[in-house]
Amino acid sequence: MMKTKLTCVEIPATETHLYSVIWLHGLGADGHDFEGIVPELTLDKAANIHFVFPNAPVQAVTINNGMEMPSWYDIIDASLDREVAIDDIYQSVAKIEGLIHKELDLGIKAENIILAGFSQGGVIALQTGLCFTQKLAGIIALSTYLPTAEQLQSERAVENNETAIFMAHGTMDPVVDPQIAQQAYNNLKAMNYPISWHDYPMQHSVCTEEIVDISRFINKVFA
């Protein structure tokens, strides 16, 4: 994976910047992918929130015949359990930690920062957030799974043991099987994280009902 810093699509706070949401896209997409969701969110603190949508590095993806595309990590095989490049995950985690520190340097408290991610981005949001050594506001994990469940057992940070996790999935998802998402949820639940599960009759996407639930979650953790 490239060592360069991440470029980001940003939506600045329109009033005093008090909160930040760092939102990671899925495989083959870019930072613009979830930019359009912001106006659809009904957020109490909307004017005070800075949204950051990082662009994943472009790299070869094994399951896509080695084609180069924006990717947070390489996927080696597309079986139900998915073999992934764990080293790539750690490199992406380090980059997202850098973005969190950028917000901290702007004077934003860690407990006012949410990490969100879709699919591959959700994997990175979970791993980064649960191992970060300052308490975050919450983690939103959409249409995703958890290839690092084993590593988390020893790498989790106590500071985020009580951090709320919103996990959501489409019941008809042909890309990330709902079974492995449910397994991820069960693993996190077994580790005593305050996690909520939401499913919707959709494929590998986002739906209106889910956006309403995400808004509710953000309002609650930023209250």
Catalytic residues: 119, 173, 204
Q: How far apart are the first and last CA of the chain?
A: 38
Class of residue 217 by CB neighbours under 10 A (exposed 0-12, middle 13-18, buried 19+): buried
HSE toward the beta carbon, residue 2, CA cutoff 13 A: 15
- The Cα–Cα gap between 10 and 98 comes to 15
